Amino acid sequence: MVKIVGLSGSLRPQAYSNLALQEAAVRLKALGAEMDILDIQTLNLPFCSGGGDYPDYPDVERLRQSFNEADGIVLVTPEYHGSISGVLKNALDLMSFEHLSGKVAGGISVLGGQSNNNALNDLRVILRWVHAWVIPEQIAIGQAWQAFNSEGKLIDEKLSERFDRFAESLVENTRKLRGIY
């Protein structure tokens, strides 16, 4: 079974990034993937100091262990000032090659304005740097305040179809690249 870990890089309550991660998780589970969603809002993570050990922060080990045990990764980020969120970057900085190398990853960005790929491009660079395999399918949700209804469900059918293709690609490529049948 494919094991996926998901992390949203938003600290805002009722964040659209969290809704997007839930959308991806539903589709991944429907394809038979095991999904572990980490809530960055509840993790007690320090600022990365470049050191390897953070004994006063057990959630660092929890984060690392979850990523280490996963075959694939879903990262969702709000786009802040043309890039990924600082909290997501910090969480990734708290990990190393041993936690991320060889993982199959998919990225989703959420924007208040028009859709673009700045945060996704930066996320790809980060993930390639640690030797993760980034799938070609990606999702940029522009004008996120219009993308979800009051119950947190996607409104746009084409965007919903993109989530389906994203999940299919992540599961299929994870199986191939990680040798899971």
Distance CA 154, CA 53 (A): 40
Distance CA 38, CA 99 (A): 15
* CATH code for the domain in which residue 25 is found: 3.40.50.360
pLDDT of residue 140: 96
| % of the chain beyond a pLDDT of 90 | 91
For residue 31, what are the domain limits?
3-178
pTM for the model stands at: 0.96
User: Across residues 24-48, what is the average pLDDT?
Assistant: 97
pLDDT of residue 50: 87
| pLDDT over 90 at 13, yes or no | no
CB 142 within 8 A of CB 109: no
Within its chain, how far is the Cα of 151 from the centroid?
22
Secondary structure of 146-176 as H, E, C letters: HHECCCCCECCHHHHHHHHHHHHHHHHHHHH
| pLDDT over 80 at 115, yes or no | no
CB 63 within 8 A of CB 38: yes
If one counts the domains in the chain, the total is 1
* Location of structure tokens 């993982």: 103
pLDDT, tens digit, 9 for 90 and up, residues 118-160: 999 999 999 999 999 999 999 999 999 999 999 999 999 999 9
